[in-house]
């Protein structure tokens, strides 16, 4: 099936981490009045490489749907093609643009909203920003329905905590939104959390189970239960590189979590 290709014009580009060479992009699709998508989905970007071969890559949308706009969060990959192509686009007139199709993907919040643990490393934070913008829209009605939402964001260094101020502001405003930033290679001056995301996810799961008088591991779900009747009171959404995703999935499976409770997007 022929996919509709759009031209996304770069309106704004900000380097959000110089050491990680990570950029925040704001694109506008001028030919559309609205570009609807569900938070967490991705766009496919297309461009010819130096040999004229058309290259396509997936990038998670780093915002909630808003008219004909969408944001991306992309870091340069050494020796990579598309990440550098995007990072080299200019937002100065005449501004750069990129061909896109989409939205695509099933990495979206399950509804109705439940308690949720959002777990990301690196640019895996992109769809999480989409989720939080949808759950807690600025100037709009809160869609979190009072559920507990944890965002566990892991990076190596403090300089790579993308969108830190936005998430801190959200946590200060919404008592049911909990922002946990953890560094695996923190310097001496860092007073926040340390270690890998798995450890902090484990603490959240154990403390919640204790609060609800649940015994871990949870009893297994009857395997004959039809998928449509599986209702969970908490989901985990994991995004980043495969190693981390596998580590968190294993941890949660060890607590008796059902595989359908664990929703993930792998970048590699």
Ligand X SMILES: Cc1cc2nc3c(=O)[nH]c(=O)nc-3n(C[C@H](O)[C@H](O)[C@H](O)COP(=O)(O)OP(=O)(O)OC[C@H]3O[C@@H](n4cnc5c(N)ncnc54)[C@H](O)[C@@H]3O)c2cc1C
Contacting residues toward ligand X, per CB under 6 A: 42, 57-60, 73-75, 77, 79-84, 123, 126, 265, 267-268
Cβ 2 to ligand X, closest distance in Å? Answer: 21
Cβ 44 to ligand X, closest distance in Å? Answer: 9
Q: Which is nearer to ligand X, 179 or 264 (CB)?
A: 264
Cβ 98 to ligand X, closest distance in Å? Answer: 12
Q: Are 98 and 126 in contact (CB under 8 A)?
A: no
- Cα 37–chain centre separation: 14
Cβ 153 to ligand X, closest distance in Å? Answer: 14
| Secondary structure of residue 238 in the 3-state scheme | strand
Using CB atoms, what's the residue nearest to ligand X? 80
Taking CA atoms, 75 is separated from 141, 145, 191, 197, in Å, by 32, 33, 26, 20
Count the neighbouring beta carbons within 10 Å of the beta carbon of residue 134: 20
CA–CA separation, 3 and 221 (whole Å)? 40
Q: Are 164 and 192 in contact (CB under 8 A)?
A: no
Q: Which is nearer to ligand X, 73 or 151 (CB)?
A: 73
For residue 160 the two structure tokens come to 């790579």
Q: Which is nearer to ligand X, 20 or 205 (CB)?
A: 20
Q: Which is nearer to ligand X, 40 or 251 (CB)?
A: 40
Which are the contacts of 59, defined by CB distance < 8 A and separation ≥ 6?
Answer: 42, 43, 44, 45, 72, 74, 86, 126
Cβ 64 to ligand X, closest distance in Å? Answer: 15
Q: Which is nearer to ligand X, 96 or 256 (CB)?
A: 96
The two beta strands, 149-155 and 115-121, are parallel
Q: Which is nearer to ligand X, 4 or 106 (CB)?
A: 106
Cβ 42 to ligand X, closest distance in Å? Answer: 5
Q: Which is nearer to ligand X, 234 or 244 (CB)?
A: 244
For residue 194 the two structure tokens come to 């340390």
Cβ 79 to ligand X, closest distance in Å? Answer: 5
**DSSP symbols for 54-102:** EEEEEEE--S--BTTEEEEEEE--TT-SHHHHHHT---SSSPPEEEEEE
């Amino acid at each position: 099936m022929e996919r509709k290709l759009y031209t996304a014009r770069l309106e704004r580009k900000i380097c959000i981490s110089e050491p990680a060479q990570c950029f925040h992009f704001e694109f506008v699709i001028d030919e559309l009045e609205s570009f609807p998508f569900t938070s967490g989905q991705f766009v496919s970007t297309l461009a010819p490489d130096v040999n004229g071969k058309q290259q396509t890559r997936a990038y998670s949308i780093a915002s909630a749907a808003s008219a004909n706009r969408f944001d991306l969060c992309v870091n340069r990959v050494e020796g990579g093609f598309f990440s550098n192509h995007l990072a080299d686009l200019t937002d100065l007139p005449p501004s750069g643009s990129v061909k896109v199709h989409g939205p695509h993907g099933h990495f979206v919040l399950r509804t109705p909203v439940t308690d949720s643990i959002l777990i990301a490393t690196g640019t895996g934070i992109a769809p999480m920003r989409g989720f939080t913008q949808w759950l807690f829209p600025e100037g709009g009605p809160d869609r979190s329905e009072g559920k507990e939402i944890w965002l566990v964001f892991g990076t190596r260094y403090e300089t790579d905590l993308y969108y830190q101020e936005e998430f801190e502001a959200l946590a200060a405003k919404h008592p049911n939104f909990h922002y946990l930033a953890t560094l695996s290679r923190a310097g001496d001056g860092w007073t926040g959390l340390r270690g890998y995301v798995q450890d902090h996810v484990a603490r959240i799961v154990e403390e919640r189970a204790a609060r609800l008088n649940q015994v871990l591991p949870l009893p297994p779900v009857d395997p004959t239960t039809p998928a449509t009747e599986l209702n969970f009171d908490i989901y985990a959404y994991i995004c980043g590189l495969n190693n981390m995703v596998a580590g968190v999935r294993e941890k949660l499976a060890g607590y008796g979590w059902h595989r359908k409770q664990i929703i993930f997007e792998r970048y590699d």
